[in-house]
Amino acid sequence: MRVLQVIALAFGLAMDATAVCAARAIGARDRRELVILPLVFGAFQAGMAGVGWLGGTWATRYIAAWDHWVAFALLVLIGGKMIVDALRGGDREPRAGSAALYLGLGIATSIDAAAAGLTLPLLAVAPWLALVMIGTITVACSALGYAAGRFLGERVGPRLGLVGGAVLVGIGIDILIRAP
């Protein structure tokens, strides 16, 4: 029964990363991102959950003071750029993002995983198993989200980047509103 709790936690943590992957794919980016983004998001989700687990309440106290502002700023900046690019007609050639972009997205989508990591000792499952499950489920969900976004983007067109950008901005605003 405890394994099901970890699976549910992993799916809950993966949803932001999945939505960001789908939004990023809508803009018809480089196909390599189908591999890069899910791996980055899976590593960050598992890593941040591990930080939460290892850091305990000490780290959470400091992270919680600013985590929602960092996630909000990163998502609004990236989403805003997607909206501007879509309004300008976007790039004709798909291009990959930079390492800084991937790092920013990884941080923005995984900050909540640090707080969730605090719950790992309560689940009576080996922490390493929980971290592997969190990372693996995030990779799988993110890859499916990217594939779905790419499929939709190819069918509807590059102007759908407006929707993708709006989704990222919306996620950022939601994080800010829900912050304690």
Query: pLDDT of 125-145, one tens digit each?
Result: 888 899 999 999 999 999 999
Among 31-35, 80-84, 149-153, where is mean pLDDT lowest? 80-84
How much is the average pLDDT of 23-52? 87
pTM: 0.74
Q: Is the confidence at residue 69, as pLDDT, over 90? A: no
What is the reported pLDDT for 96?
A: 62
- 79-103: string of b/e by CB count within 10 Å (b at 16+)? beebbebbeeebeeeeeebeeebbe
Q: Cβ neighbours of residue 163 under 8 Å, at least 6 residues apart?
A: 23, 26
1 vs 114 pLDDT, higher one? 114
Q: Tell me which of 160 and 87 has the higher pLDDT.
A: 87
Task: Please determine, for residue 59, whether its predicted confidence score (pLDDT) is greater than 60.
Answer: no
Of the chain, the percentage scoring pLDDT greater than 90 comes to 18
Q: Write out the two tokens for 9.
A: 């936690």
Model confidence band, residue 151 (pLDDT cutoffs 50, 70, 90): confident
- Given this model, what pLDDT does residue 73 score? 79
pLDDT at 125: 81
Instruction: Please indicate whether residue 108 or residue 156 has the higher confidence score (pLDDT).
Output: 108
